[in-house]
């Protein structure tokens, strides 16, 4: 019988524009190569109505593996992912299927993958409370850049999951290495933000630093 994996996409962006989706795609490709079928649920959409939430819960019930792919938002999962996990837990506690396995691939905008650690602990607590089998945690820094090493490690993770195994601990550990030095990331990142603001929106360096909610500046509040 074909095994089924469900990708829970925690990024509010579309599958085409989301780094989380690109990372999950690498794992999903290996699962498909191993004979699995893959479904995707966009959690922002799933949380938008009772009907879409119910579809997410039915899809979770029908899956052998749940893969949560999300960016880091303020040291944790984005709100729609938290809401979805709350809904899945409530469903599990009232008769949902608890046979599935669960794993994560999280990425953050900082260079250090360790920024994801607290969010991964939150995911692991969800997994335990929901009664799923833990299959590992992948943490990626540098805004989810797909370097050759990251790509290879994701494929290794996907191959292990396709066999029904846990993500190898060596893969989890290797992903914790920085993809570029901190100083270079800070320099390049800051230049990138200035360039995007100026070229796409005509916002100057000083404009980026606006303080619209400074008490003395209330009269110029844009809202």
For other proteins, the closer of residues 171 and 175 by Cβ is 175
For other proteins, the closer of residues 134 and 156 by Cβ is 134
Which residues fall within 8 angstroms of residue 222, CB to CB, at 6 or more apart? 212
- C-alpha dist (Å) from residue 41 to 12, 44, 125: 11, 9, 21
Kindly report the number of other CB atoms within 10 A of residue 65's CB atom. Answer: 23
Q: Is 148 in the site for other proteins (CB under 8 A)?
A: no
Residue from 7, 56, 80, 102 touching other proteins (CB under 8 A): that is 80
Closest CA to 53 of 19, 97, 21, 91: 91
Residue from 29, 32, 61, 112 touching other proteins (CB under 8 A): that is 112
Residue from 33, 35, 54, 75 touching other proteins (CB under 8 A): that is 75
Number of chain residues interacting with other proteins (CB under 8 A): 54
Q: What is the rounded distance in angstroms from the CA atom of residue 38 to the CA atom of residue 7?
A: 7
Q: Write out the two tokens for 69.
A: 């792919």
Q: Is 44 in the site for other proteins (CB under 8 A)?
A: yes
Q: In angstroms, what is the minimal distance from the CB of 18 to other proteins?
A: 9
Q: Is 111 in the site for other proteins (CB under 8 A)?
A: yes
Q: Is 121 in the site for other proteins (CB under 8 A)?
A: yes
Kindly report the number of other CB atoms within 10 A of residue 12's CB atom. Answer: 19
Query: HSE (CB half, 13 Å, CA atoms) of 132?
Result: 29
Q: Is 78 in the site for other proteins (CB under 8 A)?
A: yes
Q: In angstroms, what is the minimal distance from the CB of 120 to other proteins?
A: 10
Closest CA to 122 of 65, 75, 176: 75
Q: Is 143 in the site for other proteins (CB under 8 A)?
A: no
Q: Is 83 in the site for other proteins (CB under 8 A)?
A: yes
Q: In angstroms, what is the minimal distance from the CB of 153 to other proteins?
A: 21
Q: What is the rounded distance in angstroms from the CA atom of residue 60 to the CA atom of residue 39?
A: 10
CB 34 within 8 A of CB 2: no
Residue from 3, 4, 13, 176 touching other proteins (CB under 8 A): that is 13
CB 74 within 8 A of CB 108: no
Residue from 73, 154, 157, 172 touching other proteins (CB under 8 A): that is 73
Point out which residues bind other proteins (CB under 8 A): 11-13, 44, 47, 71, 73-80, 82-83, 85-86, 110-112, 114-115, 118-119, 121-123, 125-126, 129, 182, 185-186, 189-190, 193, 196-197, 200-201, 203, 207-215, 221-223
């Amino acid at each position: 019988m074909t095994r089924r994996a469900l990708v829970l996409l925690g990024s509010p962006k579309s599958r085409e524009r989301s780094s989380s989706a690109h990372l999950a795609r690498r794992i999903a490709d290996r699962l498909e190569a191993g004979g699995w079928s893959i479904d995707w649920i966009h959690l922002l959409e799933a949380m938008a109505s009772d009907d879409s939430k119910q579809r997410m819960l039915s899809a979770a019930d029908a899956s052998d593996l749940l893969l949560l792919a999300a960016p880091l938002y303020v040291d944790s999962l984005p709100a729609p992912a938290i809401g979805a996990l709350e809904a899945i837990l409530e469903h599990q506690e009232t008769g949902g299927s608890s046979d599935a396995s669960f794993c994560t691939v999280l990425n953050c905008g900082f260079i250090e993958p360790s920024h994801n650690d607290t969010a991964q602990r939150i995911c692991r607590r969800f997994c335990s409370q929901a009664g799923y089998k833990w299959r590992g945690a992948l943490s990626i820094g540098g805004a989810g850049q797909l370097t050759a090493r990251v790509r290879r490690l994701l494929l290794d993770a996907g191959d292990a999951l396709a066999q029904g195994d846990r993500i190898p601990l060596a893969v989890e550990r290797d992903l914790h290495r920085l993809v570029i030095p901190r100083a270079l990331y800070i320099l390049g990142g800051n230049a990138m933000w200035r360039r995007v603001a100026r070229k796409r929106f005509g916002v100057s360096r000083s404009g980026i630093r606006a303080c619209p909610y400074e008490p003395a500046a209330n009269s110029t509040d844009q809202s």
